[in-house]
Structure 1
Amino acid sequence: MPTPPSTNKPTGIQLDIAADLHKWRAFLAIGELGSLTRAALFLDSNQSLLSRQLNALERECGTRLFTRTGRGVELSEVGRRIFPQVKALLADAQQLEREIRGEAHELSGRVTVGLLPSIGSPLVGRLYKEMRTQHPKLGLKILEGSSGQVEEWLADARIDIAILYRYGASLPDHEEALATVDSYLIGPRGDRLTAADELPLTALHELPFILPSAPNGLRTALDAMARQAHITLVPALEADSLPLQKLLVAQERLYTVLPLHAVWQELQEGRLQAARLVNPPLQRSVSMALARQKGPAKAVTAVAAQIVRIVGDMARSGMWHSSQPTAGLPPAA
């Protein structure tokens, strides 16, 4: 009499988990982001494909994994119960893939950093050079935009690391302060006003400015301080382009307000002048935030740690004041 097949054999599994990993990746992304649109951006896919994958997965499981709401989707009771197991499964699969490729101990993949142009100029070149030397298989992708754009990219998981300006004494809970930045009145070469080391805020009254248009963090802070100081601050020209602001200050003898690092090269070359604003000072924080895991976790950690180190070195050169203690920095990867 033949022996009946064991129910513990692989052929007894109803769901072909290994063949459906791409569907489970979609499940994980939708569950974490609560939106098919955001999950599609995260996975570099499209919403209709994710919808088909999700429908197929629910048919195979014989139950609803998500509940549709007016704001998107949320995990069903079954979805919430299996979510941690699916996350662990995909992490194991990723580790297995690295082991097979022999990359378990060598950082690889691509890390996407979103930042403002004035921060990117002094930071990105050095970051690329140092990461290229330390981890040649790790790639960087840089996106520059306004504060609002960078925050949107972070929320949509299009970037792994965001570098932002923040005004005020406190930061959102998920952000880390990297540096405190003073604001300077920037003028052309030979300008008598910006030849001083420091200037009170009242010195800005009725100057011919080129400033970014609202909404903009710096413009909002400047306008608020001008109202409090009872001075007139009406720009002769509005331009959001940092290179254009610096060019027109030098050529048309306008003024603008920028952090020192944004004009570092021009000051070294003598094309522009800068006087620090005091009474009251106008300061902002440079902060860093990490997105929900998108890129390779160890690579993101390594890039973030290197950014902290570079910002600390720049503080020692005089670009800004470091917000990081010497001890307690993330270890070098």
Structure 2
Amino acid sequence: MKTFICVAECGSLSRASDRLRIAQPALSRQIKLLEHHVGVPLFDRHIRGMELTEAGSELLRRVSGVVRQLETTMQDIQSAHTEISGNVALAVMPTIAMVVAARLVAHVARELPQVTLRIREGYSVDIIEWMQRGEVDISFLYGPSSDLHIRSKELLLEEIALISPPGALNNTGGQIDFDQVAGLPLVLPGRRYAMRRIIENAAKKAGSSLNIAYEVDSFFATRAMVMSGICHAFLPLASLAEEVSAGALEARSLGPAGLWRELVLGLPSERSNTRATNAVVEILMKEIALMVSQNDWIAQPGPELRQLV
């Protein structure tokens, strides 16, 4: 299975051979034996390499998380009485990665030199699927936590602001309401994304409509479109703090109370944490608490985080 996963990721026997340090004929035999056992071709062979068939893609989807869990379990048992070591996969949304990723990587490298931290970026719908398949150990997700059916820690509430090009709303102060937003061209993610639901529900509650001019499922593309001056967006204030501070973008709160979303830390419900995972979670909680206390992350701490702030 490890051979199969490696060949699938590399797209060719030669690259997989280099990564695994196993001769190509041996790899080829293993793949053929696996295909014989499964009873269907797993790869289409061509001069450019090897491409997964539909059956191969389905097998990869089902076994990658299982194999990773087995490897992680073995690593944890082997290191039970030694320095904490192993691999930890953390899934983050792009807006969260902008805020915390660099600081977290530096902190883990400093305090846990034998732990390899892998950060995987995606949106909530993707991250939940990765967790269900066992491909990640820790994840950031949007709450409420009761909707997620996983082990979770309530981290914080972060503010969502209206992000605008500089000078686009000169007659408006630091706050804006949905009636004023109604005529503005907006860029929002597709309907399957949590941010879209938060914005539409808040507008509906306020009795206002939205002018959704563009649907874009990319934080970086959204930011670029707003900076170019063609539209406005609703985004977490913390993810664009540098741009707002530099005057490249403007941010406005939604009314005096603001608009907030809950951020939770998710952990798989079907398996226990490794020592390395627990250590990374502890560092992550401390780092976020420090950022909130220093106003590097404009947010309201949740119950567990409040004890550390």
1:97 aligns with 78
Runs of 5+ unmatched residues, structure 1: 1-35, 51-89
- Larger Cα-atom Rg: 1
Q: How many residues align?
A: 246
- Per the TM alignment, residue 170 of structure 1 is displaced from its structure 2 partner at its CA by 7.5
Q: CA separation in 2, counterparts of 1:327 and 1:319? A: 14
CA distance in 1, matches of 2:199, 2:175: 17
8 A Cα contact 1:194 1:274, kept in partner: no
Secondary structure of 1:142's match?
Answer: strand
Overall identity of the aligned pairs, in %:
24
Give the match for residue 15 of structure 1.
none
Partner SS, residue 184 of structure 2:
coil
Root mean square deviation, CA, Å: 3.0
- 1:118-137 equivalences under 5 Å are 118-137=95-114
Distance 2:63 2:254 in 1: 45
Partner of 2:66: 43
Residue number among 306, 310, 319 corresponding to 2:298 in the alignment: 319
| Contact 1:201/1:280 (8 A) holds in 2 | no
CA contact (8 A) 2:165 2:249 kept: yes
Which of 175, 178, 188 is equivalent to 2:152?
175
Residues 164-211 of structure 1 show CA distances to partners (whole Å, capped at 9, x for unaligned) of 112599875621111111110100112335962222232211211111
**Alpha-carbon distance in structure 2 between the residues aligned to 1:172 and 1:193:** 45
Residue matched to 2:137: 160
- 2:238 matched residue in structure 1: 261
State the shift of 1:44 in Å.
3.1
Contact 2:165 2:250 in 1 (8 A): yes
1:250 aligns with 2:227: yes
**Native 8 Å contact 1:114 1:143 kept in 2:** yes
AA in 2 matched with 1:98: S
d(CA) in 2 for partners of 1:325, 1:184: 25
Any gaps of 5 or more consecutive residues in structure 2?
A: 1-58
Rate the CA distance shift 1:223–1:326 in 2: closer, same or farther, 3 A. closer
Q: Distance in 2 between matches of 1:283 and 1:269?
A: 23
- Tell me the alpha carbon deviations over residues 13-53 of structure 1, each in whole angstroms, 9 at most, x when there is no partner: xxxxxxxxxxxxxxxxxxxxxxx9887222338xxxx9xxx
> SS state of the match for residue 129, structure 1?
helix
Which stretch shows the higher mean deviation, 228-237 or 156-165? 228-237
Output the TM-score relative to the length of structure 2: 0.70
Deviations 1:68-125 (A, max 9, x none): xxxxxxxxxxxxxxxxxxxxxx98x7677337xxxx3311111000111100111111
Q: What amino acid is aligned across from residue 79 of structure 2 in structure 1?
A: R
* Within-5 A mapping of 1:190-205: 190-192=167-169, 196-205=173-182
How far apart, CA to CA, are the structure 2 residues paired with 1:94 and 1:169?
A: 32
TM-score by length of 1: 0.66
Q: What SS does the corresponding residue of 1:308 show, helix, strand or coil? A: helix
CA contact (8 A) 1:111 1:295 kept: no
Match of residue 73 from structure 1: none
